[in-house]
Structure formats: C-alpha cells, structure tokens
C-alpha cells in the first residue's frame, strides 16, 4: 500500500522508479498494490500518465487498485480516462473485503459523495461475516491520527462514517494525504470509541515529512487472525524493523483459489 507519488520533476519521478526497483529486488510476488490517492500532480497531461503506467508495469505486482486523491481530481478528465474505477468500489479477496473511496472534488480536504458514503455504509453493515478494510485519501476526524489535526487532511463530514463504525467497526482504515513518515507519533491509532477500528497512515513516495519514500506491506496469512504490517524505506532499501505492527482480525483469514472480485460502487 502506497500513496502520494505526485512527482513534478524528473528527480521526483526517480523516487517512484526507485520504489518499483526496490520492490522488485525483494524477490517476492506481491498479490496486489493499493494506491491511496495522488498518483500524479494536479493538471497532469498524457505524457505524465504514460510515464506512470510504464514505470508501474515494471513492478512484480499481480494487480493494482487505486483511488483518486485531491491532485487526481484536479486532473479529472485525464485521470478518469486512464483509470476508469468508479468513485467507490470494493475488492473481495477470500473472506476479506476492501472498500475504496475516492475524493470526488479537487479541494484539499477529502470530499466523499453521499452516494459513495451510502454505498460504503451498506457494504459495511451487510458484510459482517467479512474482514473489512477501508481505504481513503484523507483520514477521519476522529481517527486519532496526527494528520487529523489539520482540516485540509480530513474527510469532510467525518461524523457520518464514525456513526457507522460505532455500530460495525472495520478492522483497518488506511489513508494517505498527510505525507508523514511512519516513524512519527500518530501514524497508527486504534479507537475503542469507534468499535476498535484501527487507523493507519500510509506515508508518501515523494519523500514524506521528516522521512524517506515509504510504503506499507500488509501480510495476510492463511488461517491466521493476525495481520502483519511492515514499513518499507525505499530510499535505503530496507524495512523499518522497529515499526512493524500487528492488527488482530475478527476471524482467521481464508483465501480460496481464484481471482479477487471487484465490486462496483454506486
């Protein structure tokens, strides 16, 4: 899981290319990659999208899923042409269900439409037999994450989501947008008042604040109710071993053979 690539110079593009090379050097096959928004800078043209797709294609990643961040919404016509996902959609893999919510407006704060919210709410309430994950660009106001202190980094009208979580929590809610290094306090938080939902910040590829280009590696293990989350420093080509996290899932993970299923949103 990665976020905030958004290069505006050749030097910044190299950071993403280095990230891809670093993942390739691990010698493992990654089942899926999720980008939590801001793939490119706002108002990017065809050349930038062509570069991005070519760079991404070199990664040993079986499947890519992405959402739009505020910068992507500023390139809406091109972004929607190259990435045709709906504003909200789901990915079911085994007994896990990941719900992805794009920004719908170019404002710095994350605007999620009421239609997307209503779809998310229905999916959460109707899939209580699944391990639930949510991905958004900004974070909930009540997430406890450091970035939630800033109005430009949160989801507008967060209370509607928080009310649902009090009834039916999700195991993990991941977001980007804050560009904070994983080592900083307030980049992981589990909130009992929101049903025990755990919130995690995914740092930026364009060199997060006080840190290097970082991403998170989520490891689901067959038959285990423990989700391991590792922090990868792509500039130095190493894991931040002291930043490893473990989230307890509500049930053991089961992944039968077959492709993940993409579920369209509203």
What pLDDT shows up at residue 155?
Answer: 98
What pLDDT shows up at residue 134?
Answer: 98
What pLDDT shows up at residue 201?
Answer: 97
**CA–CA distance, 213 with 203 (Å, rounded to integer):** 7
pLDDT tens digits in sequence order for the chain, 266 residues long: 999 999 989 989 999 999 999 999 999 989 999 999 999 999 999 999 999 999 999 999 989 999 999 999 999 999 999 999 999 999 999 999 999 999 999 999 999 999 999 999 999 999 999 999 999 999 999 999 999 999 999 999 999 999 999 999 999 999 999 999 999 999 999 999 999 999 999 999 997 667 789 999 999 999 999 999 999 999 999 999 999 999 999 999 999 888 999 999 99
85-264 is classed CATH 3.30.750.180:
yes
Q: Kindly report the pTM of this predicted structure.
A: 0.97
């Amino acid at each position: 899981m990665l976020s905030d690539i958004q290069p505006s110079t050749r030097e910044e593009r190299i950071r993403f290319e280095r990230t891809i090379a670093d993942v390739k050097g691990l010698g493992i096959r990654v089942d899926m990659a999720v980008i939590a928004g801001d793939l490119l800078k706002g108002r990017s043209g065809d050349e930038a999208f062509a570069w991005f797709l070519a760079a991404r294609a070199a990664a040993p990643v079986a499947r890519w899923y992405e959402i739009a961040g505020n910068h992507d919404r500023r390139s809406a016509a091109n972004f929607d042409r190259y990435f045709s996902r709906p504003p909200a959609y789901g990915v079911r893999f085994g007994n896990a269900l990941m719900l992805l919510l794009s920004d719908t407006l170019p404002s710095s704060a994350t605007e999620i439409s009421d239609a997307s919210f209503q779809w998310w709410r229905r999916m959460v309430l109707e899939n209580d037999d699944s391990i639930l994950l949510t991905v958004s660009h900004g974070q909930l106001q009540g997430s406890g994450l450091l970035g939630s202190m800033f109005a430009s980094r949160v989801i507008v009208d967060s209370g509607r989501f928080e009310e649902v979580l009090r009834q039916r929590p999700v195991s993990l809610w991941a977001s980007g947008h804050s560009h904070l290094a994983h080592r900083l306090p307030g980049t992981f938080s589990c909130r009992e008042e929101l049903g025990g939902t755990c919130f995690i910040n995914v740092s930026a590829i364009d060199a997060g604040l006080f840190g290097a280009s970082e991403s998170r590696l989520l490891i689901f293990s067959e038959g285990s109710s423990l989700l391991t989350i590792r922090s990868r420093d792509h500039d130095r080509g190493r894991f931040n071993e002291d930043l490893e996290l473990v989230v307890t899932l509500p049930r053991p993970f089961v992944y039968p053979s077959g492709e993940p299923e993409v579920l369209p949103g509203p």
